[in-house]
Amino acid sequence: MKRSNGADETSMKMGEHKIIEIICRNIEHMPNMAAPFGDDVSALYLSDNKVAVLKTDMLVGKTDVPRGMDLMQAARKAVVMNVSDFASKGIQPMAALVALGLPEGYSEKDITEIAKGLNSGAREYGAFIVGGDTNESSDLVISVMLYGIADKSSLILRKGAKPGDILAVTGFFGKSAAGLRILMDGLKAPKGADKLIDAVLNPKARLAEGKALSNSDAVSAAIDSSDGLAWSLNELSRFNDVGFLLDNIPTADETREFAEFNKLDPVELTLYGGEEYELVVTVKPDKWDIAKEAVEAAGGQLIKIGKVLSEKENSWSSDGKKKLIEPRGWEHFKTHL
């Protein structure tokens, strides 16, 4: 795994934004969409308050499949990546379609593993694989499209955060970043290495949490954290024209121990990790208790990490000092299976 320095990462991310911006500029936009272009999902009205929700996200072997991840895990991850976006909007996925690009020479066992991984990723979250397409390609490519139906009013968008809202997340960060360092760079963990590696190989989408938050009507904006917590904050900041001040960096205990053991910065692993599928949400302050109880009733946790500010700057405070959160994430790891 190559961890980027700030400049590289920003240019990579700028590149992706630039690509999306160019595409946006050159297509005719559908009138009256239920979620703005660029949000985590697309939503189309079925009636006044029913929407069809659609999402596509592609897994590419060389950038999304780290050393140590098998085909079943890769296929499952391709589905989970998409489910996570549904989770961040509070939407139950119903069905997935999968377009596969397979390198030459895959065996029946390989295809079976892929099928089982796809099925597992879908069924864990109540969805079914309902169709697809197979092709030959140089890379392993697993392009998943997810579909669901929801009340328009239940859809949590990226836009909606207001100054004064509470910033919260559904779990502690940095486990995947640490796990990747173990898998890719051979670093050691003092204990709990299995848990760190498992975070990479078997990521979980926070669907129950997202649905509970949607039902609670307490959340003003949400996004998942697949590109890293810092990057998610940057996106929420951009969509809402607000900033964030974090007073509680949500580092997982295992990550802290791993960082200490390897003389790494736990904050770096927490903020600029990625390949993590927690939800990052802003909660209306008078509804904090409702939101927290709803998530806990769904078996999850909601951790207060800071607040929304009107000034468009993201920072975290430590020992009374304020440090800027940079708009960067984790560079994809460039390793073939």
Give whichever of 132 and 163 is closer to a copy of itself, judged by the CB atom. Answer: 132
Give whichever of 101 and 250 is closer to a copy of itself, judged by the CB atom. Answer: 101
Please name which of 225, 176, 181 lies closest in space to residue 196, comparing C-alpha atoms: 176
DSSP state, residue 190: S
Task: Please list the alpha-helical segments (H only) found in 250-317.
Answer: 253-261, 266-271, 288-297
Q: What SS3 class is residue 262?
A: coil
DSSP state, residue 312: S
Handedness of CA 23, 25, 26, 28 (dihedral sign): positive
Give whichever of 102 and 290 is closer to a copy of itself, judged by the CB atom. Answer: 102
Least distance (Å) between residue 54 CB and a copy of itself: 6
Least distance (Å) between residue 18 CB and a copy of itself: 8
Rounded-to-integer distance, Cα 324 and Cα 337, Å = 36
Task: Please list the alpha-helical segments (H only) found in 175-286.
Answer: 175-185, 193-201, 207-216, 229-240, 253-261, 266-271
Residues within the interface to a copy of itself (CB under 8 A): 16, 18-20, 22-23, 25-30, 33, 37, 41-42, 44, 46, 52, 54-58, 60, 62-64, 94-95, 97-102, 108, 111-112, 114-116, 118-119, 122-123, 128-139, 141, 143, 145, 147, 149, 332
Give whichever of 58 and 187 is closer to a copy of itself, judged by the CB atom. Answer: 58
Residue 216 makes CB contacts below 8 A (sequence gap 6+) with 287, 290, 291, 294, 295
Q: Write out the H or E segment, with its range, that includes residue 84.
A: helix 71-89
Give whichever of 63 and 154 is closer to a copy of itself, judged by the CB atom. Answer: 63
- Between the alpha carbon of residue 185 and those of residues 64, 177, 203, 226, 274, the distances in Å are 16, 11, 20, 21, 16
Least distance (Å) between residue 75 CB and a copy of itself: 10
Give whichever of 58 and 193 is closer to a copy of itself, judged by the CB atom. Answer: 58
Give whichever of 149 and 264 is closer to a copy of itself, judged by the CB atom. Answer: 149
- DSSP calls for 22-66: HHHHTSPPPSS-SS-TTSSSEEEESSSSEEEEEEEEEEEHHHH--
Least distance (Å) between residue 203 CB and a copy of itself: 17
Least distance (Å) between residue 93 CB and a copy of itself: 12
Tokens in use for 79? 């589905």
Least distance (Å) between residue 334 CB and a copy of itself: 9
Least distance (Å) between residue 135 CB and a copy of itself: 5
Least distance (Å) between residue 244 CB and a copy of itself: 25
Residue recorded with tokens 């390897």: 262
Q: Write out the H or E segment, with its range, that includes residue 303.
A: strand 303-309
Give whichever of 165 and 227 is closer to a copy of itself, judged by the CB atom. Answer: 227
